[in-house]
């Protein structure tokens, strides 16, 4: 068993890890569909998107880790749960296909907006990663939005499942737009946008998708999830135990 690593909690590192971990953990969740999706084309599509997300996470973790003397694998696989800084929405179990589609619509819309802004980052490497990732995120968003419309405006059963998924997921979205000291640092140094500045454009695009899907935008709730501060749901430990088991059992294992 390999001991966990400690991370540097500077605002800059936290900003990079929040983004890398969003990609990493959503990639892990989408990868769970491999061999289980409702049709072959979707099995392939979800695995493709997982691959893009993990590739984006690799680039970000390599970049963040270089400043701490850590490599991408150490950061991806050897942290303790509280040192993962993804927003809670991406760690929720994959649910049914409607849940996966609606989460992808919410998160890929958010990521596309983040990457667009990060192309102007004062950090040249982060801007370069964003320049590539934004093109991939557009395909992800379009895929999710097309399916949201097809299922939301589909059969009674597909609609019922979409409504249930939306009801569960919506309360986890405010976390994406809550600012704290990490955002203040990112905005003042030009590293990247503060979370709150993406709220309006995200809501506008979600309203467009949900409107076309004939699904009602849920009401706001007072609930606030806390994943990006390292406080996760009970699902995170299970996800990590599966994701980390190989590197923990065979340190440095590669193929």
Partner 1 sequence: MSLAAPVASRVERAWAVLAEVLDPEVPALSVCDLGIVRDVVEHGDGLEVVLTPTYSGCPATEVIERSVLDAIDAAGLGPARARLQRAPAWTSDWISEAGRRKLREYGIAPPSGDAPHAPAQGVPMRFVRRGPPAAVACPRCGSAHTERLSAFGSTACKSLHRCLDCREPFEHFKPI
- The residues of the shown chain that bind partner 1, judged by CB under 8 A, are 41-42, 44-45, 48-49, 51-56, 58-59, 112, 124-125, 127-129, 131-133, 135-136, 138-139, 141-143, 145-146, 149, 205, 208-209, 211-212
- The CA distance from 150 to 53, in Å, is 24
110 vs 182 by CB, closer to partner 1: 110
- The CA distance from 219 to 3, in Å, is 44
105 vs 182 by CB, closer to partner 1: 105
109 vs 173 by CB, closer to partner 1: 109
144 vs 182 by CB, closer to partner 1: 144
Minimal distance, residue 195 CB to partner 1, in Å: 21
62 vs 88 by CB, closer to partner 1: 62
Query: Nearest to residue 112, comparing CAs of 191, 159, 176, 68?
Result: 176
Minimal distance, residue 55 CB to partner 1, in Å: 3
Minimal distance, residue 221 CB to partner 1, in Å: 25
58 vs 232 by CB, closer to partner 1: 58
Question: What six digits make up the tokens of 200?
Answer: 């309006």
Minimal distance, residue 37 CB to partner 1, in Å: 11
Minimal distance, residue 207 CB to partner 1, in Å: 10
Minimal distance, residue 57 CB to partner 1, in Å: 9
């Amino acid at each position: 068993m390999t001991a966990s690593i400690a991370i540097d909690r500077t605002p800059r590192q936290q900003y990079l890890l929040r983004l890398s971990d969003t990609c990493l953990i959503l990639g892990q969740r989408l990868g769970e569909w491999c061999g289980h999706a409702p049709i072959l084309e979707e099995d392939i599509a979800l695995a493709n998107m997982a691959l893009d997300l993990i590739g984006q996470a690799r680039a970000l973790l390599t970049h963040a880790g270089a400043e701490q003397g850590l490599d991408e694998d150490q950061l991806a696989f050897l942290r303790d749960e509280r040192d993962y800084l993804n927003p809670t929405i991406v760690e929720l179990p994959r649910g049914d296909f409607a849940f996966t589609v609606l989460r992808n619509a919410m998160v890929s819309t958010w990521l596309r907006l983040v990457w667009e802004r990060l192309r102007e980052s004062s950090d040249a490497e982060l801007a370069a990663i964003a320049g590539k990732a934004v093109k991939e995120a557009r395909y992800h968003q379009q895929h999710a939005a097309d399916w949201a419309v097809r299922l939301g405006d589909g059969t009674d059963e597909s609609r019922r499942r979409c409504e249930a998924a939306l009801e569960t997921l919506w309360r986890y979205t405010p976390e994406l737009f809550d600012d704290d000291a990490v955002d203040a640092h990112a905005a003042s140094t030009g590293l990247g946008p503060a979370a709150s500045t993406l709220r309006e454009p995200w809501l506008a695009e979600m309203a467009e998708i949900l409107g076309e899907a004939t699904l009602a935008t849920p009401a706001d709730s007072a609930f606030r999830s806390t994943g990006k501060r390292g406080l996760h749901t009970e699902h995170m430990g299970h996800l990590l135990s599966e994701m980390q088991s190989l590197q923990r059992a065979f340190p440095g294992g590669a193929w």
